[in-house]
Every structure is written in structure tokens, then in C-alpha cells.
Structure 1
Amino acid sequence: MAWKDKMSEASFRGVPFEVESDDGTFGRRTVVHEYPQRDKPFAEDNGRATREISLTAFVVGDDYLDKRDRLLAALETKGPGTLIHPWYGELKVSLKDPARVSHSKQNGGMCTLQLSFVEAGELAFPSAGDSLGSKALAAADNLQGAGSFDFVKKFDVNAKPSSVFDDAVSTFNDGLDLIDNATSNIKSIIDNPIAFLKANAATLIPDAVKMADTVFGLFERGESVVESLAGVFGLGGASSRNGDTIASLTSLSQTFSTRATVPVPSGISPAREQSAVNAAAINHLFSQAMLVQAVGMTTTMDLPIYDDAVKIRDDVTAALDNESLSVSDPVYVALQDARVAVYADVTSRLSQSARLKTITPTSIRPGLVTAYDQFEDVTREAEIVNMNKIQRPGFIPAAPIKVLSA
């Protein structure tokens, strides 16, 4: 097919005309920065440049005046219109400059028009939306407040037999031991040394408010934990370590919830009954501290891996549901609000997460080679090594491993 056969019949808003010649501008918007004492500038790319089309058009024939008037009416119509360009096809354009119309006796029976168009683009304004991450952080704060208030309301060792105090100290220390014996993921984010808290348990126990603040302040803030993990492990590695930490937090929360729901025997003395109430309150306090930390970490971390994000979301929401089974109404509401906020926040970010895929190297090879083969980027070696928990990065096994799909 000859090039003439590929040309379109020119028109604007459906009004036809002929084209003698055209020109256009295309490219990028570039800002050149020049610096003192430097020979080379820096060219900053600010995006694609606006496309401009200029046409030398004409209408001809015995009815050329009628054709001219219809075309002028189309050019004077408000808003963008459809231009059928002989060489570029259909374009949505706006008239950039007023059209220039020329007549001459020498060229009777026709008139010439100089037309200048720009691509119409779109008028788009910023749209308001909820900050789901902020809602989740607020829900974590509300859970901490509701949990603290509920603990202070139930826990009491003052003006009680010494056995009640001793039982509370024992339950508190048992909870600290449970945390201290947990995985390294948990212990790595503890802000207050367990040994110090155990040594000062007798001082904390009589003050329920201070005790609640201490337990909820047991860990570093979620943001600082996420940042430190990202700095050490990189994109995929940090995601994996964050997921492991949240899995440990939610698992420990469920252990404390189970301890808190031990039934109180009937017909026991008031002192033993208060000890049982105190034990349940302490275990719920520890459980809710784990959940506040998990919610805070979830909403502040990046979620680059789809599979990890879904597991994190499911772990946290399941633990929040589990704790909801045996708490007071205000704490139940706070737990469910946190559940809704975490689910909405993580789900809204899933579309930005890359899927995992499984590959099998054909032979044992260094992590650098594997990273280059997959991504043409050797800096992603740490991502592969940490995601698959490979002990010797220089020897990636010839076995199935997980990598990001992008």
C-alpha cells in the first residue's frame, strides 16, 4: 500500500478541508541545570512536552465560501474537538491560536487557513480520600486507651491479702518470661529490658496505670522497627522479616488470650477470686500490647510482596478477632475498629504489591549471578537471599526459590 493510500481525509469537528502542509512539535520538557565549577550540566526530565500541530489548510470549489464558513464555525465552537489529521489520524485537540484566513484574486475559488492546535489533555483536580493508614494508627491508639482503661478498672492489689499481690507479681513475671523466651523477632524490638522490668515488678504492681503504660510501652514504636529492618534487609528481606515479626506478635497475643480465658472456679475465697481477675487482666494487657504493636507495624511498613501482605493482613485480623472473644464491650469495639482499619489499609495497597514466583536455577550459582539473570540488577541479591533465608549467598542451590515477579 502506497503512503498516499494511508492518508486520512482531513476534518475538524466533522467539517472537511484540504491540507497543503503541516508541522508539529513532539518530545520532552527538559530543564537544564548548570552549576559553578562543573563542566557538565544536569538535564532534568519534567515529563512529555505538549504536542502541537500546525496545518496549512484550504477549501476549494464553487461553494468554497460555504465550506469556509462551516469550518470557521467549528473553529469558534467552545471546548476541544476532534481533528482528523491526514498523517496522525484522530486527535483530541484545542485551537491554540486564532486561525488566520487568507483570500486572493489570483487564487480565486479558494481560501487558505493557518491552523494551530494543541492536544486537549484532561482537566483533573486532586480528589479527596481517606488516609487508611492514619485510620489504622488511630485505631491502634484507641485500642491502647481502651485496654489501659479496662485494665485499671479490673486490676486491684491494694488493701488485699499479700497473696493477691504475690500472685500478680508471679503472673506479670510469667508474661515477661513468655516474651523473653519468644523468637528473636520479638526480642529484637523490645524497648525495655525484660530483666529490668522483672527486677522492678514489685514497684510497678501497686500502680495499675503505670503498669499498663509500661506494658504498652514494652516495644519500640512500629515505625522505627520497620525502618531499621528496611535498612538492614532491603525491599524483599524487610518484608519477610516484618512478616515474621508480626506472625510472632499475633501468635504470642493468642497465647496470652488463651491464658486470660481460664475459667474461675466457683466457691473460692474473695482473695483467690481477685487473683484470678488480676491474672486475666494482666494476660489481656499483654495480648493487647502485642496487637497494638502489630497494627502499628502493619500500617507503617511497605508491602512490596503480595503474598506477604495477604498473610500479614490475615494474621493480624485473626488475632484481633481472637482477642475480641473475651473482653469488655469498649475493648471489643476498639479491637473491631482496629480490625476494619487494618483490613482496609492492607487491601487498598495490594494492587501496588508484586506477586511472588518460583524459579529453579539450573545449577548452583552466586546470588549476584541469580539477581542479574532475573532482574539485570545485581543490587537485588540481598532481596533474594533474605527472602529465601539462604545461609551462603555465594551458593544459591539448584532448587526452587521465590523471587519477586517485578
Structure 2
Amino acid sequence: ARNDIFSRIAEARDNLLSKAQAAFEKIYRVLEFPDFVLNTAKETVRAFSSTLSGLKGSVTGAFAEFYHSAKQIAEDVDGLIPDGKKLAPAILKNISQISAISEDPHEIINAYRVLMNFGGKDFGGKDIPNQPISNQLDPPVIPVRVAALGGTATRMREQQNLDAIVSLVKQAAVAWVAPIAAKASYSSLQDAIAARDEILFVIDQQMEISGIDDDTYQALHDVRKALSEALPPPTADLPSIVPYHNIQTRPSLVLAYDLYEKLNREADIIFRNQIEHPGFVPGGITLEVIREF
């Protein structure tokens, strides 16, 4: 049954990637428009390239290939920008390569989280809760006198192209991250729920975009449904996170042993509570700990 869930989510991923690309190619247009429309699209793709170049990976060969491709899309921007049927596959190729840059699924998830927030508030209306803005692009500058008249068809096209690129990036990111998140292991029930909800937030955001076509909407819905079935893992008995009032100052190793009579939870205590000095976990504070006691 678990394998069936993984198969459905992988199928939903592939369908979303296909539908998102088709929708992008229908919307995106730069030819026969003034140069500033072309230039805004170029700057958006360069921002995408810059965002990719800032990601980290640990699989040397795969990361080197990914990094080269991330740089290459900026170098090839003049040839890609005029044609959406060239630009979309190049963007999607870059995003797909992230899935191989690390053997740690959570490192890959963190990389996709950056792209799920690509563009920041100006392009999605919202940011992922509690996440830094990954790449705050500047929206097209529309002169006041033009904006006062409601804009022009050319300025609308400029914005539509920019929005289309950002949506393609976000939709591809959630398509790829969903099956990876579904297969990842989690320390607690809350961690699994948080990972799921972060992805669902972006999916919902994309489903609410004005003018989204029916095929892309349904494809997003299918990924949402499959991920909701997969996380939290229905067959896994994950422990819960509970508050623990730490009465006295003590080293994290001592705290871990006092709580669990073993030391393998020390790293989780440090990470989960952002303890700066593991040798001195302050007394009189409430910590979040995994319940095993």
C-alpha cells in the first residue's frame, strides 16, 4: 500500500510538470513587444540562476553538473528568452537536477524550499511562513502616470511573463519536492506534518492564482491529495514533540541521558531548541523534546 502511495505521488509529479510547462508556453510572450518586456524576463531568469547557484549539495559529481547548468541558463538567456518552448524546458531541467545533489533527502527538501519561495511577496502575495525570502525580485517599474490609467497592454504583458516564470518555478519545485518529502524519515509526528503543510501552503497559493487553467489546477490538486495521503506516514508510529520544563542548568548530554537514559537524542535537543552552548542548557526554560519518557 505504501508503494502505491509513492507511485501515485510520482505520477502526480510528472503530470504537474507537464501541465505547468504547457500552461507556461501558452501564456509567455515577448516577441513583438518593446525591449523592456524582454529585459524584465531576462532579469527574472538571471535571478532564478542566481538563486540556484546559492544552493548547497553534497554529491560532488551531481552537484557540479547542477551548478554548471544553473550558471549556463543565465549565460544562454539571450537565446532562451524569446521562445517559451526553449525557456520552459531549461528551467525545468535545472529544477529536476536538484533532486540528485545530495544523498540526504532533507538537504534536497531545503533546496526546494528556497524555490518554493522564489520571488517573495511581490509574486505570490504571501511568503512561506517562518521562511526567509529566498530571492526578492523587484516588480516591473510602471510609471505613475501609466499606473494611474490602469496600465497598458504592454505593461500587463511584462507582468504576465514575470508571473508565469515565477509560477513555473514554484509549481515545478512542489512537484519535485512532494515525493521526496513523502519518502523522507522524520523524528516526530509534528515534523512530518510541518513538512507536509509547508508544501501544501505553496500548492494552495498556486491554485488561487487568477487565471490558472483547469489542467494545471487539477494537476496541483492531484499532487496535494497524494501528498496528504503520504504524510504523515500512515503506517509509521512517530513520537510526538512535547514541552519539557528544564529545571536546572546542565550539559545537553546530561539532559539527554536524564530524559531518555541514552545519548542519541542529544543532537535533536540541540537542533530543535537552537541551543548555542550545548555544555550549558539553561535552567528555568521550556524546551521542545521528543516524547519517549
- Correspondence list, 1:286-305, <5 A: 286-305=169-188
Which residue is 1:57 aligned to?
none
1:250 offset after TM fit, Å? 4.3
Q: What does the per-residue CA deviation read over 1:6-33, in whole Å, with 9 as the maximum and x for residues that have no partner?
A: xxxxxxxxxxxxxxxxxxxxxxxxxxxx
- Correspondence list, 1:144-293, <5 A: 144-158=17-31, 160-175=33-48, 179=51, 187-188=55-56, 191-192=66-67, 196-219=72-95, 220-222=97-99, 225=102, 227-228=103-104, 250-252=116-118, 255=121, 256-258=123-125, 268-269=152-153, 271-293=154-176
The one-letter code of the counterpart of 1:372 is Y
- The structure where strand makes up a greater share of residues is 1
- Partner secondary structure for residue 264 of structure 2: helix
CA–CA distance in structure 2, aligned partners of residues 213 and 287 of structure 1: 14
Cα-Cα RMSD: 3.6
In the alignment, is residue 329 of structure 1 matched against residue 214 of structure 2? Answer: yes
Q: What does the per-residue CA deviation read over 1:51-72, in whole Å, with 9 as the maximum and x for residues that have no partner?
A: xxxxxxxxxxxxxxxxxxxxxx
C-alpha distance 254-353 of structure 1, shift in aligned 2 (>3 A):
farther
- Of stretches 281-290 and 203-212 in structure 1, the one that deviates more from structure 2 is 203-212
In the alignment, is residue 376 of structure 1 matched against residue 261 of structure 2? Answer: yes
C-alpha distance 168-245 of structure 1, shift in aligned 2 (>3 A):
closer
Q: What does the per-residue CA deviation read over 1:329-365, in whole Å, with 9 as the maximum and x for residues that have no partner?
A: 1110100001101111114437521101222333222
Q: Which has the higher contact order (CA 8 A, sep 6+)?
A: 2
- Contact 2:56-2:111 at 8 Å conserved across structures: no
CA–CA distance in structure 1, aligned partners of residues 258 and 203 of structure 2: 42
Q: What does the per-residue CA deviation read over 1:136-175, in whole Å, with 9 as the maximum and x for residues that have no partner?
A: 2221221111111111222233455434322321333345
- Contact 2:42-2:78 at 8 Å conserved across structures: yes
- Contact 2:12-2:222 at 8 Å conserved across structures: yes
- Partner secondary structure for residue 167 of structure 2: helix
C-alpha distance 403-246 of structure 1, shift in aligned 2 (>3 A):
farther
User: Share of identical aligned residues, percent?
Assistant: 23
CA–CA distance in structure 1, aligned partners of residues 5 and 26 of structure 2: 31
- Contact 1:365-1:394 at 8 Å conserved across structures: yes
The one-letter code of the counterpart of 2:67 is N
1:217 offset after TM fit, Å? 3.5
C-alpha distance 400-242 of structure 1, shift in aligned 2 (>3 A):
farther
CA–CA distance in structure 2, aligned partners of residues 363 and 334 of structure 1: 52
- Correspondence list, 1:1-400, <5 A: 131-158=4-31, 160-175=33-48, 179=51, 187-188=55-56, 191-192=66-67, 196-219=72-95, 220-222=97-99, 225=102, 227-228=103-104, 250-252=116-118, 255=121, 256-258=123-125, 268-269=152-153, 271-326=154-209, 327-349=212-234, 351-398=236-283, 399-400=285-286
C-alpha distance 368-351 of structure 1, shift in aligned 2 (>3 A):
same
Provide TM-score, normalisation by structure 1.
0.55
- Contact 2:44-2:165 at 8 Å conserved across structures: yes
CA–CA distance in structure 2, aligned partners of residues 131 and 253 of structure 1: 35
Size of the aligned set, in residue pairs, is 261
CA–CA distance in structure 1, aligned partners of residues 246 and 151 of structure 2: 67
CA–CA distance in structure 1, aligned partners of residues 100 and 260 of structure 2: 29
Q: What does the per-residue CA deviation read over 1:204-232, in whole Å, with 9 as the maximum and x for residues that have no partner?
A: 3134234223323434544764x426xxx
Gaps of 5+ in 2: 58-62, 127-138, 141-146
- Contact 2:17-2:171 at 8 Å conserved across structures: yes
C-alpha distance 199-397 of structure 1, shift in aligned 2 (>3 A):
farther
Provide TM-score, normalisation by structure 2.
0.73
The one-letter code of the counterpart of 1:314 is D
C-alpha distance 200-243 of structure 1, shift in aligned 2 (>3 A):
closer
CA–CA distance in structure 1, aligned partners of residues 120 and 235 of structure 2: 26
- Contact 2:98-2:112 at 8 Å conserved across structures: no
CA–CA distance in structure 2, aligned partners of residues 248 and 155 of structure 1: 23
C-alpha distance 391-201 of structure 1, shift in aligned 2 (>3 A):
farther
1:374 offset after TM fit, Å? 1.8
- Contact 2:182-2:227 at 8 Å conserved across structures: yes
